[in-house]
Amino acid sequence: MKRILLITILGICVVFFADAKTIKVGASKKCTTIQQALMFASNGDTVMVNKGMYHEKNLIISKRIALIGIDYPVLDGELKYEVVAIKASGVLMQGFKVIRSGVSSMEDFAGIKIYNCRDVIIRDNILENTFFGIYSQYGINCTIEKNKLTASSSEEQQSGNGIHCWKSDSMRIIGNFITGHRDGIYFEFVTNSIIWRNNSEKNLRYGLHFMFSSNDSYIANIFKNNGAGVSVMFSHDVKMIHNYFEENWGDGSYGILLKEISDGIIENNRFVKNTVGIYMEGTSRIKMNGNVFEKNGWAMKIQASCMDITVTGNNFLNNTFDMSTNGSLVLNTFNGNFWDKYEGYDLNKDHVGDIPYRPVSMYSVIIEKNPPAMILFRSFITTLLDKTEKVLPSLTPENFKDAFPLMKPLRL
C-alpha cells in the first residue's frame, strides 16, 4: 500500500515538473520583452532573459516563476517607474542589472519590490541608481542574497534605502554590498530575521537602521564610513555578533547607537576609529562580551538612563576616552575588561589588577559638560587634573569602575 502511494506521488511529481517549461527572452528569440514571456508563463516556469537592454516600464511578476538573467540583462526604469514588482510567492529573481528607478517623495519606488508574499528569492542582482533598492513589504521568509546596490545621491531626501524591509518576518539578508543609499539596510517591524555577511559602506545616513524590529540577528557584517553609523532603536532581543564598525566619523555618528533596546547581545564585534563606538540611551539588559574597541574617540558613551548592562571581557585599546556618562547613577557592571590606560598593579600574579580601574576620566566629564574644553585636551593642566582625580575622585561617578581589570589584553 505504501509503495503504491509513493509511486503515485512520484508519478504526479514527474507529470507536474514535466509541465514546467523554460521560456527564453532576447532580441533574437520569440519573446523580445519580458512582459510577453510573463504572459505565456504559468506557475513553475522558468524565464531566461538574454543579455540586452529592456525597457519594461513597471514589470509585475504575479506568477510563481524563476526569472533568470544571463550575463546581467539591464532593466531600465527610466527614472520614472518602479522597475520590478513581485506579487507572487516563491518567485526567484536572479542575475539582473536594475537601473534608474523612479524617484518620488509620495511613493517608495524601488528597484525590486516584494508585495505581500512569501518565499521570494532575490539573488545576485546589480542595482544602480535606484531610489529604494530592494524593498520588502509584508514579505515572509524571503532571501535577499549577494546583490550589489549602488546609489549616487548626495541628499537624504532624494535617496531611499538600500535594502528596506517593512512589516516582514523571517527574512534572510545575506552577503549584499550596499553603498550610497540613505540607509544601507533598513528594518521596521521586522522579526525573526538574520542579516549576515553584508557590507554596507558610505551610505548617507545609517549603515543599518533598526526600528521596532525584535528577535533579529546581525552577524559578520561590515559597516564602514557611513554618515551616522548603525542605529538600533525600540527593539528587543537583537543579537549583534562579529560585526565590524569602522570609521563612522562626525558628531552624532556612532559605531552603534542603541536607544530603547533591551535583552540584546553584543559579542565579538570590532569598533575601530569611530567618533563614538557605542552610544547607549534607555537601554537595558545587554550583555557585551569579547568586543574590541580600538582608536575610537569614545569607546562607549553610556547615559545614566541605562541599566543592567554587563560589559565583560572586552579589550579597550588606544581610545581617546574609554567611557563617558552624563550622570552619577550607575546601574551597570564593567568588570573583567582589559583597559590599556590601566595603571594598577597585580601583586598576587593572578592576571587581575588589584585596584579598580575607573574608565570615566575627569576630563571626559568636563568635555561632556563643556565641549569647547576639548581644545585643552592633553595639555599639562588637564593631565594634572586627571591625575588628581584618580587619587581623589570627586567629579567622576563613584561606582563607575571595573573592580577586576585584566592586566593583559584578551586574545580577540
Residues that bind another protein (CB under 8 A): 249-253, 273-276, 295-298, 317-318, 320-321, 340, 369-384
| Smallest gap from residue 294 Cβ to another protein (A) | 10
Q: Which is nearer to another protein, 157 or 379 (CB)?
A: 379
User: Which of 362, 364, 343 has the alpha carbon at shortest distance from 407?
Assistant: 343
23 three-class SS:
strand
| Smallest gap from residue 126 Cβ to another protein (A) | 33
Question: What does the chain come to in residues?
Answer: 412
User: Which of 114, 122, 165, 164 has the alpha carbon at shortest distance from 143?
Assistant: 122
| Smallest gap from residue 293 Cβ to another protein (A) | 11
Q: Which is nearer to another protein, 51 or 369 (CB)?
A: 369
User: Which of 289, 338, 328 has the alpha carbon at shortest distance from 310?
Assistant: 289
| Angstrom distance (rounded) from CA 65 to CA 33 | 16
Q: Which is nearer to another protein, 181 or 301 (CB)?
A: 301
Give strand pairing partners of 251: none
| Smallest gap from residue 276 Cβ to another protein (A) | 8
| Smallest gap from residue 248 Cβ to another protein (A) | 9
Q: Which is nearer to another protein, 105 or 372 (CB)?
A: 372
80: number of CA atoms within 13 Å, CB side? 6
User: Which of 207, 276, 277, 271 has the alpha carbon at shortest distance from 245?
Assistant: 271
| Smallest gap from residue 281 Cβ to another protein (A) | 16
Q: Which is nearer to another protein, 38 or 302 (CB)?
A: 302
| Smallest gap from residue 247 Cβ to another protein (A) | 8
Phi/psi at 271 (nearest 5 deg)? -115, 110
For β-strands 244-246 and 270-272, DSSP reports them as parallel
Q: Which is nearer to another protein, 176 or 269 (CB)?
A: 269
Q: Which is nearer to another protein, 347 or 375 (CB)?
A: 375
Taking residue 370's Cβ as centre, other Cβ atoms within 10 Å add up to 9
| Angstrom distance (rounded) from CA 236 to CA 216 | 9
| Smallest gap from residue 256 Cβ to another protein (A) | 15
| Angstrom distance (rounded) from CA 228 to CA 207 | 8
User: Which of 262, 255, 263, 219 has the alpha carbon at shortest distance from 240?
Assistant: 219
Q: Which is nearer to another protein, 159 or 274 (CB)?
A: 274
The secondary structure of 241-309 as a DSSP string is ES-EEE---STT-EEEEEEEEEEEEEES-EEES-SEEEEEES-EEEEEES-EEES-SEEEEE-TT-EEE
Q: Which is nearer to another protein, 218 or 298 (CB)?
A: 298
| Smallest gap from residue 372 Cβ to another protein (A) | 5
